[in-house]
């Protein structure tokens, strides 16, 4: 048995076979195939899918950056449609009986060196494009997350690092747990793991070897440890721990339907955070008072190269509203940017993405995309108790501009005679020090507030929440942060408005009493943290 120690991200015990996620094209292996015809079909299908993706990318880019700049995607399509490219891949598969991935890699290399396709000279000066095309087809071939999750037995996922756009697609019924070499406990991937309640340990370093692929492992999300090929004693111990956890979860069930009230009668609302349609069910099971934060950007991140349509978004928001009945549903408009990259909304390369094009800044730049989302939210507002929240606010002008676009969306719907709630509440996230300092002014303009402590911590401390090296300095309970929370609460209450906390700090049970003392109105946490928080509140004097 091998024991590795990393950082705990999401509690729970998972036991299963380890499966390494292959994202990197450099990992292509040379494999003999028996059924060459099947292999050719695999290649042709993947190639066709890549062509379709590139066509869509071309259309989006042409609209946003003009035909000339979009031409690169056309050029990439030409590579895939070049008969010599196709024939060369096919002949390696047939003649050498090798897998499609390996054949593509070899042909791409020949293209770059000019060994093939000399006449049309497509590849000259376009080495990056050839590599890009090859890795696109390889990615498609490497069985998408969804395929893998549909076909395989439940497994424990291993990766160097897992991006948020990948983490959001994890199907809890198939991915029993995940472990990574790198990453931080404050990243969005970690947030997603907690939201979905998937036991996970990250930052295991190079000790997490590829050789462990296929081996049985235990993930101990309580201790931040993993056990590879566990011995009988460890397996038994962990099973007992798992059972104890099940018992504890069951004992919390008795708190369902009970109030979030302290012994002395102080009340606070407890809501849940979600990131996708699949999470709605866990909110209902958690008995939360509503959805305090719907991270809508994940709808964009899981939609590939195409923007989610108004109808697509409407259906998800409507489902959330209907499922929650009279309970509130706070939909945060897309907070893309930083590590939350979506293929459908490229903001370009940035030196410092977490301080770059993010949240409301993107929405105000891409007005039509923003209006589409607002229309979808407004349309869904008649099916329940929906409100809108804007992320990453730093100035009053941003709120003013966002409201102008919201009004435009309302006017359009009115003209179309489409019903919506004209009085829909509008709130903002307080997650930048600038927003803290102007929270008094903001409180005169908007209906409610939610503190995003994850970002507020990184911007207050000036430390990237993604940088694993900063772990020991990253103090989420820093007194500066707690003072800020107190200031915000005062400013907001002076205007008679409500304040919630939806960042991870809301689930820090050592701070629950402090939050109640300073009058925080609501805490919004991952669905599986709701009842433990209720228990804590009810124990406070
Ligand atoms: C936060 O910053 O605390 C927050 C809730 O937003 P996110 O974690 O999605 O950035
Ligand atoms: Mg945030």
Percent residues over pLDDT 90 in the chain: 68
Angle, nearest 10°, between helix axes 83-96 and 100-113?
Answer: 130
Alpha-carbon span 139 to 399, nearest angstrom: 40
Rounded distance from Cα 431 to ligand 2 centre (Å): 6
Per-residue pLDDT, 143: 63
Q: 3-state class of 519 per DSSP?
A: coil
In our burial notation (b when 16+ CB lie closer than 10 A, e otherwise), range 439-476 reads beebbeebbbbbbbbbbbbbbbbebbbbebebeeebeb
Per-residue pLDDT, 117: 63
Which contiguous run of DSSP H or E holds residue 487? Answer: helix 479-494
Percent residues over pLDDT 70 in the chain: 94
Per-residue pLDDT, 129: 77
Taking CA atoms only, the protein residue closest to ligand 1 atom 8 is 454
Q: 3-state class of 29 per DSSP?
A: coil
Q: Considering 126, 188, 271, 344, which one is annotated as catalytic?
A: 188
Q: Is the CB of 46 under 6 A from ligand 1?
A: no
Is 188 labeled as catalytic in the residue annotation? yes
- Indicate which ligand has the atom closest to the C-alpha of 190: 1
Determine the atom of ligand 1 nearest the C-alpha atom of 453: 3
Alpha-carbon span 236 to 338, nearest angstrom: 42
Bridge partners of 331, per DSSP, are 294, 388
pTM value is 0.76
Tell how far CA 58 is from the center of its chain. 25
Residue 340 burial by Cβ neighbours in a 10 Å radius (0-12, 13-18, 19+): buried
Q: Is the CB of 180 under 6 A from ligand 1?
A: no
Contacts by 125-134 with C-beta closer than 8 Å and gap 24+?
126/75, 126/79, 129/72, 129/75, 129/76, 129/79, 130/79, 131/25, 132/76, 133/50, 133/76, 133/79, 133/80, 133/108, 134/25, 134/104, 134/105, 134/107, 134/108
Q: 3-state class of 387 per DSSP?
A: strand
Taking CA atoms only, the protein residue closest to ligand 1 atom 6 is 452
| pLDDT over threshold 70, residue 525 | yes
Is 502 labeled as catalytic in the residue annotation? yes
> Are the beta carbons of 271 and 328 closer than 8 angstroms?
yes
Q: Is the CB of 335 under 6 A from ligand 1?
A: yes
Q: Considering 126, 271, 344, 502, which one is annotated as catalytic?
A: 502
The better pLDDT of the pair 132, 243 is held by: 243
Tell how far CA 8 is from the center of its chain. 18
> Are the beta carbons of 158 and 211 closer than 8 angstroms?
no
Bridge partners of 429, per DSSP, are 450
The better pLDDT of the pair 142, 53 is held by: 53
- Indicate which ligand has the atom closest to the C-alpha of 294: 1
Nearest alpha-carbon partner for 104 in 92, 112, 96, 120 = 92
Give the list of residues 6+ apart from residue 359 with CB closer than 8 angstroms, or none: 334, 335, 336, 337, 390, 391, 392, 393, 429
25 — pLDDT class (breaks 50, 70, 90): very low
Q: 217-244, pLDDT tens digit by residue?
A: 999 999 999 999 999 999 999 999 999 9
Average pLDDT over every residue of 516-528? 97
The per-residue pLDDT of the chain, averaged, comes to 91
Alpha-carbon span 478 to 166, nearest angstrom: 31
Which contiguous run of DSSP H or E holds residue 373? Answer: helix 367-380
Range of lowest pLDDT (134-138, 165-169, 279-283, 425-429):
165-169
| pLDDT over threshold 90, residue 398 | yes
| pLDDT over threshold 70, residue 446 | yes
123 — pLDDT class (breaks 50, 70, 90): very low
- Indicate which ligand has the atom closest to the C-alpha of 525: 1
| Cα angle, residue 297 at apex, residues 309 and 417 outer, rounded to 5° | 40
Strands 175-180 and 155-159, how do they pair? parallel
Per-residue pLDDT, 178: 92
Cα-only R_g, the chain: 25
Strands, sheet with 7-10, edge to edge from the N-terminal-most edge strand: 2-5, 225-228, 216-220, 13-20, 155-159, 175-180, 200-202, 7-10
Q: 70-82, pLDDT tens digit by residue?
A: 777 888 888 899 8
Rounded distance from Cα 453 to ligand 2 centre (Å): 7
**What is the residue whose two structure tokens read 């290649």?**
43
Average pLDDT over every residue of 87-104? 93
Average pLDDT over every residue of 306-331? 96
Nearest alpha-carbon partner for 214 in 141, 152, 143 = 152
Residue 393: other Cβ atoms inside 10 A: 28
Give the list of residues 6+ apart from residue 255 with CB closer than 8 angstroms, or none: 287, 531, 534, 535, 538
| pLDDT over threshold 80, residue 419 | yes
Tell how far CA 479 is from the center of its chain. 29
> Are the beta carbons of 33 and 97 closer than 8 angstroms?
yes
Average pLDDT over every residue of 394-414? 98
115 — pLDDT class (breaks 50, 70, 90): confident
Q: Is the CB of 269 under 6 A from ligand 1?
A: no
Alpha-carbon span 273 to 504, nearest angstrom: 10
Q: 260-306, pLDDT tens digit by residue?
A: 999 999 999 999 999 999 899 999 999 999 999 999 999 999 887 88
Determine the atom of ligand 1 nearest the C-alpha atom of 297: 9
Q: Is the CB of 297 under 6 A from ligand 1?
A: no
The better pLDDT of the pair 142, 271 is held by: 271
| pLDDT over threshold 80, residue 527 | yes
Q: Which two tokens stand for residue 488?
A: 């915000």
| Cα angle, residue 172 at apex, residues 170 and 178 outer, rounded to 5° | 65
Q: Is the CB of 527 under 6 A from ligand 1?
A: no
Q: Which two tokens stand for residue 65?
A: 């950056």
Alpha-carbon span 221 to 14, nearest angstrom: 8
Q: Is the CB of 497 under 6 A from ligand 1?
A: no
Nearest alpha-carbon partner for 451 in 525, 355, 356, 364 = 525
| pLDDT over threshold 90, residue 312 | yes
Average pLDDT over every residue of 316-333? 97
Taking CA atoms only, the protein residue closest to ligand 1 atom 4 is 452
| pLDDT over threshold 90, residue 512 | yes
């Amino acid at each position: 048995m091998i024991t590795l120690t990393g950082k705990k991200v999401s509690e729970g015990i998972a036991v299963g076979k380890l499966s390494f996620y292959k994202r990197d094209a450099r990992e292509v292996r040379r494999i003999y195939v028996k059924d060459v015809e099947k292999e050719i079909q695999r290649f042709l299908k993947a190639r066709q899918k890549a062509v379709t993706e590139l066509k869509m990318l071309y259309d989006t880019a042409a609209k946003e950056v003009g035909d000339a700049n979009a031409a690169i995607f056309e050029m990439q399509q030409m590579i895939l449609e070049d008969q010599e490219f196709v024939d060369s891949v096919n002949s390696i598969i047939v003649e050498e009986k090798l897998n499609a991935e390996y054949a593509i890699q070899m042909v791409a290399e020949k293209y770059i060196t000019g060994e093939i396709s000399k006449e049309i000279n497509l590849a000259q000066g376009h080495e990056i494009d050839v590599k890009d095309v090859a890795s696109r087809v390889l990615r498609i071939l490497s069985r998408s997350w969804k395929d893998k999750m549909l076909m395989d037995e439940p497994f424990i996922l291993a990766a160097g690092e897992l991006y948020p756009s990948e983490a959001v697609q994890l199907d809890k019924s198939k991915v029993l747990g995940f472990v990574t070499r790198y990453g931080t406990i404050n990243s969005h991937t970690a947030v997603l793991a907690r939201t979905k309640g998937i036991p996970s340990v990250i930052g295991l370093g190079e000790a997490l070897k590829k050789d462990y692929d296929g081996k049985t492992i235990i993930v101990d999300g309580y201790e931040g440890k993993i056990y590879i090929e566990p011995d009988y004693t460890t397996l038994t111990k962990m099973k007992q721990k798992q059972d104890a956890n099940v018992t504890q979860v069951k004992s919390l069930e008795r708190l369902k339907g009970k109030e979030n009230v302290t012994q002395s009668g102080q009340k606070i609302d407890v809501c849940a955070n979600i990131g996708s349609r699949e999470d709605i069910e866990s909110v209902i099971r958690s008995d939360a008072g509503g959805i305090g934060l719907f991270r809508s950007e994940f709808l964009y991140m899981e939609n590939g190269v195409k923007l989610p349509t108004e109808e697509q978004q409407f259906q998800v928001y409507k489902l959330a509203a209907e499922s929650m009945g009279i309970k509130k549903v706070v939909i945060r408009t897309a907070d893309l940017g930083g590590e939350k990259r979506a293929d459908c909304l490229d903001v370009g390369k940035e030196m410092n993405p977490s301080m770059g094009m993010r949240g409301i800044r993107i929405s105000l730049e891409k007005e039509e995309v923003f209006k589409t989302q607002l229309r979808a939210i407004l349309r869904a507002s008649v099916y329940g108790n929906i409100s809108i929240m804007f992320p990453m606010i730093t100035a009053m002008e941003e709120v003013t501009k966002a409201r102008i676009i919201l009004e435009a969306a309302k006017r359009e719907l009115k003209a179309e005679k489409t019903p919506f709630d004209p009085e829909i509440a509008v709130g903002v996230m307080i997650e930048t020090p600038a927003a803290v300092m102007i929270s008094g002014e903001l409180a005169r303009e908007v209906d409610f507030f939610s503190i995003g402590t994850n970002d507020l911590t990184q911007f207050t401390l000036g430390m990237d929440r993604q940088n694993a090296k900063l772990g020991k300095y990253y103090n989420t309970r820093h007194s500066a942060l707690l003072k800020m929370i107190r200031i915000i609460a005062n400013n907001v209450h002076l205007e008679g408005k409500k304040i919630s906390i939806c960042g991870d700090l809301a689930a820090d049970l050592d701070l629950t009493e402090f939050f109640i003392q300073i009058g925080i109105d609501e805490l919004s946490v991952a669905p599986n943290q709701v009842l433990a928080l209720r228990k804590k509140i009810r124990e406070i004097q």
